[in-house]
Amino acid sequence: MFRLSKQQENRMITYAQLCEQNIRYQAMLHDNAQALRSVINRFTLALESDLGLTDKTYSKELAKDQLAPYVDVLDSENHKPCPWYQLKVEFDQNMPEIAFELALTLEKAPNVYPKNTLISPMRATYLNDNSIQLEFTAHRDKPQFIISINEKDAFSHVINTYKQLILEMLKC
């Protein structure tokens, strides 16, 4: 049973105070969710940079104008490209969590079709102001990484593991 301390029992809490606390709480959830989305964006940019794909795109079909990035973030529900700032957030015990898919398109050569897009389901979880957890959810071992978001090479271990997972998927 939940009990208030004697001091809290005697203090009257007003509706306005409850509303103010709710506003602060909702703002905190929103800020944490935005921070998590931002880290996912930084991760994909770091992966693009590592692979030499920064700002590189390809035509989805030969002689078509529709361009797509080689590294992309997909919504995990409809498997469609989704801007990082629109990723759906769910909350687990007040901690924002985002399920998403990381898409990497491989090719024989720039103008050779079809291209092969590999999809890796992932989950990002906000832990605190300095840390998030990234997990590859479809791999049998479900590799997880605690990322210190202020670290210079924060994503290097995740990126190296991701490339190893891709090599495993493509093993002959």
pLDDT digits (tens, 9 = 90+) for 69-92: 999 999 999 999 999 999 999 998
Task: Give residue 54's domain range.
Answer: 13-169
Phi, psi values for residue 106, rounded to 5°: -110, 155
Does the residue 76 lie in any domain? yes
CB 161 within 8 A of CB 143: yes
Phi, psi values for residue 132, rounded to 5°: -130, 165
pLDDT of residue 10: 63
pLDDT surpasses 70 at 50: yes
| Confidence class for position 9, pLDDT limits 50, 70, 90 | low
| Confidence class for position 172, pLDDT limits 50, 70, 90 | confident
Does the residue 67 lie in any domain? yes
Does the residue 1 lie in any domain? no
pLDDT of residue 34: 95
Does the residue 132 lie in any domain? yes
Q: Is the peptide bond before 114 cis (omega within 30 degrees of 0)?
A: yes
What's the CA gap between 118 and 104, in Å, rounded? Answer: 5
Token pair belonging to 145: 């990484």
As a whole-number percent, the residues of the chain with pLDDT over 70 amount to 93
pLDDT surpasses 70 at 45: yes
User: In 3D, which of 52, 153, 40 has the Cα closest to residue 102?
Assistant: 40
CB 73 within 8 A of CB 84: yes
Does the residue 55 lie in any domain? yes
pLDDT tens track for 108-163: 988 888 899 999 999 999 999 999 999 999 887 888 999 998 888 899 999 999 99
Residues with Cβ within 8 Å of residue 58, at least 6 apart in sequence: 67, 68, 70, 105, 107, 110, 115
pLDDT surpasses 80 at 58: yes
pLDDT of residue 152: 83
Does the residue 5 lie in any domain? no
What's the CA gap between 127 and 117, in Å, rounded? Answer: 31
> Residue length, the chain?
172
pLDDT of residue 4: 56
How many domains does the chain contain in total? 1
Does the residue 2 lie in any domain? no
Token pair belonging to 23: 């506003």
Mean pLDDT estimate for the chain: 90
Does the residue 118 lie in any domain? yes
pLDDT surpasses 60 at 68: yes
